[in-house]
Structure 1
Amino acid sequence: MTAQALQRSDAASAPARRSPNVEWLERILLAQRNGHSCLPLHLGLDAQTHAALIQANFANLARQYPSAPALAGECDALRAELLELRRDEWQELRDLLLGARRGVDAHEPALASIVAAACLGGGHLWHDLGLSSREQLRELLEYNFPQLAGRNVNNMRWKKFFYKQLCEQDGGYVCRSPNCEDCPTYHDCFGEEL
């Protein structure tokens, strides 16, 4: 067998590489189902989109984890209510992300919705998504929303950065200072994450 034939044979027998988005979505879903994120039951997606996402990508996972026991009852109801009360804010964040999407992966709109929902949580965005590090979040954002991620040149915390972007777009959010260096809460945006 020639070297070229061996390469073709190896390529044909190698398992198809999953999209990085499927891997991130799996991490987010598992974290949510194990109670390690702030996301509501449907991750910030409508029920139909959530069901389609699970069926298309995670049918085996859905059989292993048929429900999210850590989110059952009152906790999930509160998260869903928070999302509904802040629906306009969620929509602005989602639109900000979608406006900067790469446009090459069908999962980008779902991730924009999920990231926007996690922005409504009270912790660091990577933690509220159920990711294990800020670096994982950076990779997710750079892959899916490169124009937006590329503007965070000073390594501002992501939620703060997103709201600053909305402020600069004449959104309904008020920046507290004319520039970050003069802001009395500078450490909240740029300090070490604990």
Structure 2
Amino acid sequence: MNALVQPPRIQAVYSQWVSRSLGELNAIYLARMLAAQAAGHSVLSGRLGLDEISFQNLLNHYFPTARFPVSAADPAPVAQLDEQEAIARLLLSYRAGKEESEVWIANIIAAGCAGAEHLWYDLGLWSRDDLQALIRQNFPELVRKNHLNMKWKKFLYRQLCLETGVTLCRSPSCEACSDYEECFGPE
């Protein structure tokens, strides 16, 4: 899937963030999230769903020359929902183990799951391919586990159901499900 054409304002803010980064892959996608959030096109708080210390650490790590953005003054949620914590734990159980930033990315993705749209869109990313690359970079075994290419939010919730033994799906297998297109169809 090609990236959606972004409004000039988002493109401009994205360019500013990228120019302040060290050019790492995660920085590209975080810059897209920050730009979308600044333009009001994201379900994430001004700190991308992170607490103040984690957000500042993320900025220092990926955007060392950036100033603390005004929009980042928006408070993160006081407490994560149990399901967001469970999603973050699930993601972290598949982490690449390369960087501390995998913890931040897991919490950002978990916060994005609270949105009503496709996960990539709620995060402020530009396409499903962006989300795929972000997850591949930080949680590569999870990408291998999603070998049927299920939509990410549905896949994460399905994994939580499988872990707990509680299934909300109406069919015993995805292939036999009447909602197959909802989970695996084009976006």
Do they superpose with TM above 0.5? yes
Deviations 1:90-128 (A, max 9, x none): 000000000000011221100000001001111111111
Asked whether the 8 Å contact 1:32–1:68 carries over to 2, the reply is no
Q: Counterpart in 1 of 2:88?
A: 94
Deviations 1:132-164 (A, max 9, x none): 111111111111101111111111111001111
CA shift in 2, pair 1:33/1:126, >3 Å? same
Q: Counterpart in 2 of 1:67?
A: 71
Q: Counterpart in 2 of 1:124?
A: 118
Identity of aligned residues (%): 43
Aligned-partner residue type, residue 42 of structure 1: R
CA shift in 2, pair 1:45/1:185, >3 Å? same
RMSD: 2.4
Asked whether the 8 Å contact 1:35–1:68 carries over to 2, the reply is no
Per-residue deviation, 1:55 = 4.0
Q: Counterpart in 2 of 1:170?
A: 164
What CA distance in whole angstroms lies between the structure 1 residues aligned with 2:23 and 2:64?
Answer: 15
Asked whether the 8 Å contact 2:44–2:122 carries over to 1, the reply is yes
Q: Counterpart in 1 of 2:36?
A: 31
TM-score (norm 1): 0.76
Asked whether the 8 Å contact 1:34–1:68 carries over to 2, the reply is no
Q: Does structure 1 residue 189 correspond to structure 2 residue 183?
A: yes
CA shift in 2, pair 1:62/1:34, >3 Å? farther
Asked whether the 8 Å contact 2:38–2:71 carries over to 1, the reply is yes
Aligned-partner residue type, residue 63 of structure 2: F
Match of 1:144 among 135, 138, 142: 138
What CA distance in whole angstroms lies between the structure 2 residues aligned with 1:98 and 1:56?
Answer: 19
What CA distance in whole angstroms lies between the structure 2 residues aligned with 1:184 and 1:110?
Answer: 36
What CA distance in whole angstroms lies between the structure 2 residues aligned with 1:171 and 1:117?
Answer: 23
Q: For 2:115, what is the secondary structure of its paired residue?
A: coil
Aligned-partner residue type, residue 155 of structure 1: N
Moved more, 146-155 or 53-62: 53-62
What CA distance in whole angstroms lies between the structure 2 residues aligned with 1:88 and 1:109?
Answer: 17
Deviations 1:38-94 (A, max 9, x none): 11222121122112322443365446x42269xx7xxx8xx948xx4x610000000
Q: Give unpaired runs (5+ residues) of structure 1.
A: 1-15
Q: Give unpaired runs (5+ residues) of structure 2.
A: 1-20
Aligned-partner residue type, residue 18 of structure 1: G
What CA distance in whole angstroms lies between the structure 1 residues aligned with 2:101 and 2:146?
Answer: 23
- Larger Rg belongs to: 1
